[in-house]
């Protein structure tokens, strides 16, 4: 093989590697399905969104059915208003519940939808009524530690042993 042929193969190999890196970066940033199919928007209100970010997945039964489009603060109620883009093929009952969940112990957060049993479905632009805010690990640890400190402070001290005569 000539020197020019080897240089061409090396160049193609480098380009293939670059395309692979771009693909992995897009998958890691949840941008793998840019410009997906038709979607409709619904909203959910949460007291605490934790570390939820735009483009986070929306899942039902572990299946990705949409993405978080935007997160805003309602200036009157001081709640986080999360706009969800749901793929047109998925329709959810009006009594669907939305929860902010974490993938693993310290993983990324996502929205989990639990369908209800209502006969009518959520229409585009409607708001999910039942929501559960994010569980913040730091708050749980703080509650655990303050609870243990309160238990230690309220418990009776062991009686001192009397000296033998």
Q: What pLDDT is recorded for position 102?
A: 86
The tokens for 97 are: 């519940």
Question: Domain spans of the chain?
Answer: 1-32, 36-145
Q: Which residue pairs, CB below 8 angstroms and at least 24 apart, start in 73-80? A: 74/45, 77/45, 79/45, 79/46, 79/47, 80/45, 80/46, 80/47, 80/48, 80/49, 80/52
DSSP states of 112-157: EEE----SSBPPTT-EESEEEPPPPHHHHHHHHHHHHHHHHHHSPP
Q: What pLDDT is recorded for position 34?
A: 45
Strand order in the sheet with 80-87: 127-128, 39-46, 80-87, 63-73, 57-60, 109-114, 97-102, 130-132
Chain centroid to Cα 45, Å, comes to 14
pTM: predicted TM-score of the whole model, two decimal places: 0.66
Q: How many CB atoms lie within 10 A of CB 128?
A: 21
Residue 126 near residue 42 (C-beta atoms within 8 A): yes
Q: What pLDDT is recorded for position 136?
A: 73
Going residue by residue through the chain (165 aa), what tens digit of pLDDT does each one get? 788 889 999 999 999 999 999 888 877 765 555 455 788 999 999 998 988 999 999 999 989 999 999 999 999 999 999 999 999 889 999 999 999 998 876 778 899 999 988 889 888 989 998 888 887 777 778 888 887 667 766 655 555 555 565
CB neighbour class for 150 (10 Å; exposed up to 12, middle 13-18, buried from 19): exposed
């Amino acid at each position: 093989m000539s020197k020019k042929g080897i240089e061409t193969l090396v160049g193609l190999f480098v380009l293939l590697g670059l395309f692979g890196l771009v693909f992995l970066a897009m998958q890691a940033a949840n941008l793998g399905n840019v410009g997906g199919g038709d979607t409709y928007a619904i909203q959910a209100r949460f007291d605490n969104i934790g570390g939820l970010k735009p483009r986070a997945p929306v899942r039902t039964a572990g299946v990705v059915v949409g993405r978080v489009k935007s997160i805003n603060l309602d200036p009157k109620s001081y709640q986080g208003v999360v706009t969800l883009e749901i793929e047109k093929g998925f329709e959810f009952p009006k009594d669907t519940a939305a929860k902010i969940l974490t993938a693993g112990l310290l993983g990324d957060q996502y929205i989990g939808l639990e369908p209800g049993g209502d006969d009518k479905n959520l229409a585009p632009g409607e708001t999910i009524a039942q929501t559960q805010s994010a569980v913040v690990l730091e708050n749980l640890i703080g509650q655990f530690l303050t609870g243990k400190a309160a238990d230690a402070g309220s418990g009776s001290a062991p009686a001192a042993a009397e000296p033998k005569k």
